Amino acid sequence: MEFNIDLYLGPEQCNHELMTAVYERAVQESKSPSHDIYHINDVLRNAWALYKSIPTNPEISWERIFMAGCLHDLGRNDPILHQTDSLAESIRLANPILIELGVPGQEIAVILEIIAQHDQPDLIPASLEALILKEADFLAGMGTTGVMRTILWAGESGRTIPQIVQTISERMPRRIASLQLEQSRNVATKLWPRAQLFLAQYQEELSGIEFESFTGKLIVFEGISGAGKGTQIQLLKEHIKEQGRDVAVISEPSSLFLSTLTQWKSERGHVDALERRFLLMADRAGTANRVKELLRAGVFVILDRSLISTMVYQGVDYLGMAEVLQWHEFFPSPDIVFLLDITAETALVRIDQSLTQGQRAVRDDYEEATLLETHRVLYHEALGLLPASIPQHIIDTSREIGEVQERIRELITEQGFLT
């Protein structure tokens, strides 16, 4: 995330020029990869959010908090030093910098005291300024960021994997328990489960990874409405049957999901994005069981839409897409994925033709030019999040139907699925 220092220089009465000079010097002097500019930026962001959440108090100086936040971890330049020894080194290194840059002596004493109280879980800081820095720093060591920085610091200081696990499983909860500000506790409540998930998945991997191989093949078709998925799936199904193989076509979401969604809307009046996502997850769990049974029996399963569509329509952004991908670990991995690609304009022409010909009654909510083009872009992004081990092919379906089908069959043959 890009950091714009101008957003964190605070009220007009603050000495912005001096604060900028301290920030730039701190970035220059910070040598520890786990306590470098990225950590400084995180701490300043957190501190600013906490500072703004507290009612105006003339005793709280953002200028002091900012400068202390810039210089608080200089002692981490020496990976041998820990806890109070590292704090003492931070103070020793920060003092001459503040003097050189022209910070008044009385202010320097307060800033150094803020630094001295920031990394001690069992100590309740004597001032709100010190408390803000301490908790801003603690929050920057939680969640996925905390896991990354813990691992990075372990590499710097020569710590082992068991020590990393101990830091995450014991030190993080201890720091959470020490938080005094309600705002900090609320954020920590959200961040801590992410670290727990990391530990749980690590323990699971240590116990060994289970593999299940199938004699059947899972072929996934994706793309915006109007891309021609139904037509190409039907042609491929006939081709596979001609090859003497059993084949099944499964469409997602299921009719059960659609009827359930209708019932929810009827009874609740509205279904929000989170409710819809979890309804889809429940539906997909049932589909996964059915797909596995077919694959075990050697059947070629053609899936009309998959988790990729969920990433596009319910994922919204990179975080949402990644979450959807993780939640679908239970679903068999596709043997090949076809993204049928077409412009929104061409898709709408086809959709309108199907309406005119009576093949469908109404347009879906997503079948509008701007949304179709947005989703087209998201499909490409979602495809890039899939493991590289899954063969992925983008097929231009603006071409003739037969030409598109021929290309699909060629790619399946190249994978050795059919002759």
pLDDT at 94: 96
Query: Is 258 exposed, middle or buried, given 0-12, 13-18 or 19+ CB atoms closer than 10 A?
Result: exposed
Residue 15 has pLDDT above 80, yes or no: yes
pLDDT at 223: 94
- Region 253-261: mean pLDDT is 87
| DSSP states along 54-111 | SPP-TT--HHHHHHHHHHTTGGGGSTT--HHHHHHHHHHHHHHHHHHTT--HHHHHHH
Q: pLDDT class for 418, splitting at 50, 70, 90?
A: confident
pLDDT at 318: 65
Q: What is the spatial distance between Cα 307 and Cα 331, in angstroms, rounded to a whole number?
A: 9
Preceding amide of 253 cis, omega within 30: yes
Residue 56, token pair as written in the block:
């105006």
pLDDT at 270: 85
- Region 378-396: mean pLDDT is 91
Residue 357 has pLDDT above 80, yes or no: no
Mean pLDDT value across the chain: 90
Residue 290 has pLDDT above 90, yes or no: yes
Residue 362 has pLDDT above 70, yes or no: no
Residue 193, token pair as written in the block:
């489960």
Q: Which domains does the chain have, with CATH numbers?
A: 5-206 (1.10.3210.10), 217-414 (3.40.50.300)
Residue 325 has pLDDT above 80, yes or no: no
- Region 96-110: mean pLDDT is 96
In sequence order, the 6+-apart residues with CB closer than 8 A to the CB of 52 are none
- Region 19-34: mean pLDDT is 95
Nearest CA-CA partner of 141 in 162, 164, 110: 164
Task: Write out pLDDT tens, residues 337-353.
Answer: 999 999 989 988 888 88
* pTM of the complete model: 0.75
pLDDT at 195: 93
pLDDT at 363: 63
Residue 332, token pair as written in the block:
């068999």
Quick one: angle between helices 62-71 and 128-139, nearest 10?
A: 40
3-12, 165-174, 318-327: the lowest-pLDDT one: 318-327
281-295, 309-323, 402-416: the lowest-pLDDT one: 309-323
Residue 10, token pair as written in the block:
């605070």
Tell me which DSSP letter residue 167 carries. Answer: I
- Region 358-373: mean pLDDT is 74
pLDDT at 358: 67
Quick one: angle between helices 37-53 and 16-29, nearest 10?
A: 140
Residue 211 has pLDDT above 90, yes or no: no
Q: What is the spatial distance between Cα 363 and Cα 342, in angstroms, rounded to a whole number?
A: 18
3-class DSSP state of 259: helix
Residue 307 has pLDDT above 90, yes or no: no
Task: Write out pLDDT tens, residues 36-83.
Answer: 999 999 999 999 999 999 987 888 999 999 999 999 999 999 989 888
Q: pLDDT class for 186, splitting at 50, 70, 90?
A: very high
Rg of the chain taking only CA atoms, in angstroms: 28
